[in-house]
Amino acid sequence: MIYLDNSSSTFQKPFCVKHSIKKTLNKYAANPGRSGHKLSLLAGEKVLEARMTLANHFGLKDFTNVIFTASCTEALNLALQGSVQPHGHIIATIYEHNSVLRTLEYLKKTYHITYTLVTPNANGIITPDRILSAKQPNTYLVVVNHTSNVTGHTQPIHEIGAVCHEHNLLFLVDTAQSGGHERLNMEKDHISMLAVAGHKGFHSIQCGALLIQDCKIKPLKYGGTGTNSISLTQPTDYPEGLESGTDSIVNIIALATGVKFVERKWNDIHQKITNLTQYTLTHLSKIPNCIVYSTNANSGVISFCIKGYTSTEIASYLNQKHIAVRSGLHCAPKIHEYLGTTKNGLVRVSLSYFTHKTDLMYLIHCLKTLSKKTLLFQKN
């Protein structure tokens, strides 16, 4: 199978990630931070090293503010629910994933917040002035999806962060798609909370993290911190106050290994993704009836449709040709409303460091053949 669904989860994992999983199971799989014996302490040390790796990668000074989560969705929920200010106002963008949008709806019903979804300019960019013009007297938080999982557009986080800092607004960045592809520095970019997905651009397994700078938020879960057992009150210190339950040590160490892999290969990854994305964009645009919605050659996210077919029909056809892509709305309904692609959805081809040019040559060949046929599937 040719795997071009890396924005969902990367499939091919580097040897170092696979090796770290095996090594953790064989050597460190005790319960970190619960007991005083050597193995528990060793496990705790490894989790601490992982926190340092993530903090260092994202320019966060205090590694105790790295909170491991099950997924990026959980990290975003923790950030949004944990920082809620009842009756306050949140600015987000039409690029947001449902992990943000549905949480905003929940906060609206439960805490009576209101929110504004900012639209991009003609180049797909959310400019700082667009954020500012949505500001209200009770605005307390700005949420931005760094790289869209639908179009691949990447937002100017540094500039938006500067505006948030100037106006004393919390700033939450969703790096699910940009992690491993674009570098951010929480301190320099004035990011208050940064949500990470381990299983996408970091080539690790299903795991996430929320990194927090200069703000205190409430937990999503209670108990199971392994500290101060006599107390019935949740600790407020980080990370334990926000990280209830036994840490998933295998996933956490694998995530840190993925981050180190990406750091070692940074230039190669960047070069390869840019070349392959550019190749795909160029060749897709030459296919008759194919409309391409992506322009960012650095993202590895390419969405398109072919007139006369739904995105699901195209994805099914490619599946028969042993090519894995994703179709539909990609859990981001508002950008589809904006683009007018809600009815048929879009086909998304997403690349990774392990994608080969020949995979994409074959994809283009298959799509050319499809675009020539007027009706592939019998429609009722």
Q: Which residues here bind ligand PLP, judged by CB under 6 A?
A: 8, 71-73, 97, 99, 145, 149, 174, 176-177, 197, 208
Least Å distance, CB 197 to ligand PLP, is 4
CA 290, distance to chain mean position in Å, is 27
Cα(342)–Cα(359) distance, rounded to whole angstroms? 28
Least Å distance, CB 12 to ligand PLP, is 18
Which one-letter amino acid corresponds to residue 263? E
- Whose Cβ is closer to ligand PLP: residue 50's or residue 366's? 50
Least Å distance, CB 272 to ligand PLP, is 21
Helices (H), ranges, the chain: 15-23, 38-57, 72-82, 98-111, 128-133, 157-166, 249-264, 266-285, 311-320, 333-339, 357-372
| Side-by-side strand order, sheet with 290-292 | 290-292, 301-306, 347-350
Query: What DSSP character marks residue 377?
Result: S
| Residue 294, CA distances (Å) to 88, 286, 323 in order | 34, 14, 20
Tokens describing residue 309: 């077919």
- Whose Cβ is closer to ligand PLP: residue 83's or residue 99's? 99
Whether the Cβ atoms of residue 105 and residue 285 lie closer than 8 Å to each other: no
Whether the Cβ atoms of residue 205 and residue 355 lie closer than 8 Å to each other: no
Cα-only R_g, the chain: 21
Least Å distance, CB 104 to ligand PLP, is 13
- Whose Cβ is closer to ligand PLP: residue 149's or residue 355's? 149
Whether the Cβ atoms of residue 9 and residue 354 lie closer than 8 Å to each other: no
Least Å distance, CB 192 to ligand PLP, is 17
- Whose Cβ is closer to ligand PLP: residue 126's or residue 370's? 126
- Whose Cβ is closer to ligand PLP: residue 92's or residue 287's? 92
Nearest to 351 by CA among 291, 294, 289, 290: 294
Least Å distance, CB 94 to ligand PLP, is 12
Other C-beta atoms within 10 Å of 229: how many? 8
- Whose Cβ is closer to ligand PLP: residue 225's or residue 299's? 299
Whether the Cβ atoms of residue 11 and residue 217 lie closer than 8 Å to each other: no
- Whose Cβ is closer to ligand PLP: residue 172's or residue 287's? 172
CB half-sphere exposure, 372, CA atoms < 13 A: 6
- Whose Cβ is closer to ligand PLP: residue 329's or residue 370's? 329
Tokens describing residue 70: 């099950």
In degrees rounded to 5, what are phi and psi of residue 39? Answer: -70, -40
- Whose Cβ is closer to ligand PLP: residue 101's or residue 287's? 101
Least Å distance, CB 68 to ligand PLP, is 12
Least Å distance, CB 9 to ligand PLP, is 7
Least Å distance, CB 245 to ligand PLP, is 17
Burial of 76 (C-beta count, 10 Å sphere; 0-12/13-18/19+): buried
